[in-house]
Amino acid sequence: MRKIQGIFTEGPPNFSMLTENVAGSGLPSTRRHIKFLRQQGITAIISLTEKPLPPQLLENENIKYFHYPLADHQAADPAKILEIVKHLQKLVSSGEKVLVHCLAGLGRTGMVLTAYTMLEKNLDWRTALETVRSIRPGSVEKNQENCLREFEKLAKPGS
């Protein structure tokens, strides 16, 4: 159903802005999705799917693309999440408006957006997750919450 929904809507499935410069979504799979992202001001994409987006999808779009493959429905290595979040912070601080996406826009995207929120707002993982879920319901699968607990220990020692 999500795949069908994504085909018939302007933007990718589950698209929403987390902050003024950071968005999350499911897989942008059509030129219409990319056009929608450009209209939203997106200038960079961080992809968390196992396979990268087809290069022709972003051809002549002037969107920076970064691929960090993470396994679907699984907790990720907290060190890898930290690497992705640091890159996201660097992109935002350099003026980019960034989309983070996975296939459905919930689990992997939710993990990265929650970790980003933890660091940006100096929140514990539960509060950051509640914040993200208030904007993006369904974010982060139960088995991925442990990754966020471990991420907090790694990224915020002494918390």
pLDDT band at 74 (very low <50, low <70, confident <90, very high): confident
Strands (E), 27-75: 44-47, 64-67
> pTM here?
0.91
Residues 6-53 pLDDT 10s: 445 589 999 999 999 999 999 999 999 999 999 999 999 999 999 999
Q: Mean per-residue pLDDT for 83-90? A: 98
- The domain segmentation of the chain, as residue ranges, is 2-155
List, in order, residues 6 or more apart from 89 with CB less than 8 Å away.
Answer: 116, 119, 120
Q: What fold, for 2-155?
A: Protein-Tyrosine Phosphatase; Chain A (3.90.190)
- In degrees rounded to 5, what are phi and psi of residue 8? -100, 0
- In degrees rounded to 5, what are phi and psi of residue 97? -110, 115
pLDDT attached to residue 31: 93
Rounded Cα gap, residues 40 and 30, in angstroms: 16
Rounded Cα gap, residues 80 and 107, in angstroms: 15
pLDDT band at 75 (very low <50, low <70, confident <90, very high): confident
Active site residues: 102
Instruction: Please say if the pLDDT value at position 2 is more than 50.
Output: no
